[in-house]
Amino acid sequence: MSVVEVGQCWAQRPAVFAAPALEPDAGRRCLLVLRMFLIALRSQLYVGGSPTSSIKKPLNAFLGELFLAEWTDQVNHGAESPPSSVRSNLSSQMTGQDSSSPSPSSSSSSSSSSRCGCGTDRITTRLVAEQVSHHPPITAMHIADDVHGVRADGYARVEMTFSGAVQVRQVGHAIVRIDTFNEEYLIPLPDITVRGFLSGRLYPEITGTYHVVGSTGYTAEIKFSGKGFAWGGKQNAFVATVYGPRSDQKLSDAKLSRNSSNDGRERLYVIDGVWSQSWTVCDARTGHVIETYNVDAPENAPAPIALPDTESQDPWESRRAWSGVLDGLNKGDMSQTVAEKSKIEQAQRRMRANEAADGKAWTPLFFTSHGHDGRGMFHRLAANVVSDSPKLQLHDDRTKGVWRADSGKIKNMQRPFRGRLTPLGEQP
């Protein structure tokens, strides 16, 4: 697969993506956004594989490369149906409880206030991803569930270095928007260390602390530990905590030490486990386990992907553009793989040379760069967390600005996208 396909990790479970829009409680919405982020990690960082196999490097995307796809879940959540199935096992267990409820498992009914009135039993997410820059390489994505009013916009520049292990740094961020509640969440793009060179089975490891930051003041802190070279630990381990808004009242030392952060935020939920395998979710106020999530459980599998046939795709769409390369890889024919890859790379170099000679700049189809944070959304969200983490700094000078989707262009997209111009050049 190509780098432009990586964003499907967020889109391929539509019920998980839509769940925050169907949750009336702000703290649980933050938990569901965090949950979406965690569920996406394995397919994002293992590139569709599993911890039992060595990870593979995706194809480097070429400038203008596109990936357009959608996924649909069939669930009972229409206007006359209980919404618990769409809101996931986690959300359905919590719905209707207050923080002092003694037994989360006893709550099987759903609150009528969270009932979805869309009148459909289908949840569909659509992904638009585009390689908006080649030097430096920047990929932008837009995911939307228009029926439930949830969307995610993100972009990343990937930088790789080697110092005993491969270090992969993602410069950029994503923002999830939930229209019903008029709120946004800042989502981190974690940095990765590729380990396992001595064993011959490469695996990704995240270390450090990251934050999911909500505009309502609810935040999540994720501490990744993982397995070190000499100090032990468990591969892909993490602990995440969901906090309430910062309190204006000074809390007692006892309460601060027992169930609050150092800035007075109440601990609401704690998730502990291994992001590539399984984890448990506990209510921090009661100690009850409210979900055990197993990544490999059949009910947690991604929905089927919906793509046009390769021949029906536009020449700029990833799987058509790379079809010769992918065919060679599948057959184990390295001569074909190298030849087909070289065709695209040489054509792209000619295209860039012609643009430079003509004094023209490449224009992305579906995304626009806004300098210095556009409407200031990143800085407003990041200000809700007291931290010196570099992930709460914008670095827009390294990503050619802040990339956002042009919803009008996406809504009116039509093939062919660039007329006779293809990744191999102008066609007669």
Lowest-pLDDT choice from 34-48, 96-110, 111-125: 96-110
Task: Give 23's contacts (C-beta < 8 A, 6+ positions apart).
Answer: 29, 32, 87, 91, 95, 114
Return the SS3 of 123.
Answer: strand
Q: What angle do CA 289, 294, 298 make, to 5 degrees?
A: 130
Give the global pTM: 0.87
The answer as to whether 385 is a domain residue is no
165 pLDDT exceeds 80? no
Q: The dihedral of CA 104, 109, 115, 119: what is its sign?
A: positive
Task: Provide the mean pLDDT of the chain.
Answer: 85
The answer as to whether 427 is a domain residue is no
Token reading at 121: 């039993």
Rounding to the nearest 10 degrees, give the CA dihedral for residues 260, 265, 266, 272.
-70
The answer as to whether 181 is a domain residue is yes
Type of residue at 341? K
The answer as to whether 386 is a domain residue is no
Q: How many domains does the chain have?
A: 1
85 pLDDT exceeds 50? no
Q: Which of 275, 218, 383 has its CA nearest to residue 36?
A: 275
The Cα 53–Cα 58 span in angstroms is 15
The answer as to whether 263 is a domain residue is yes
pLDDT of residue 92: 47
Question: Which CATH number is 176's domain given?
Answer: 2.40.160.120
The Cα 40–Cα 360 span in angstroms is 38
DSSP single-letter state for residue 197? T
Determine what percent of the chain is predicted with pLDDT higher than 70: 83
The Cα 24–Cα 234 span in angstroms is 36
The answer as to whether 315 is a domain residue is no
Lowest-pLDDT choice from 236-250, 265-279, 340-354, 399-413: 236-250
pLDDT in tens, 341-395: 999 999 999 999 999 999 999 999 999 998 766 668 899 999 988 888 888 899 9
Confidence class for position 14, pLDDT limits 50, 70, 90: very high
CA 221 to the chain's CA centroid: 16
The Cα 19–Cα 32 span in angstroms is 7
Return the SS3 of 129.
Answer: strand
Mean pLDDT of the region 24-53? 90
Domain with 206 in it: 3-306
82 pLDDT exceeds 80? no
pLDDT of residue 389: 85
Q: The dihedral of CA 36, 39, 43, 44: what is its sign?
A: positive
pLDDT of residue 247: 73
CA 408 to the chain's CA centroid: 23
11 pLDDT exceeds 50? yes
The answer as to whether 354 is a domain residue is no
* Residue 99 or 45, more confident: 45
DSSP string, 134-187: TTTTEEEEEEEETTTTEEEEEEEEEEEEESSSEEEEEEEEEEEEEGGGTEEEEE
152 pLDDT exceeds 90? yes
pLDDT in tens, 316-344: 999 999 999 999 999 999 999 999 999 99
Lowest-pLDDT choice from 219-223, 261-265, 383-387: 261-265
The answer as to whether 134 is a domain residue is yes
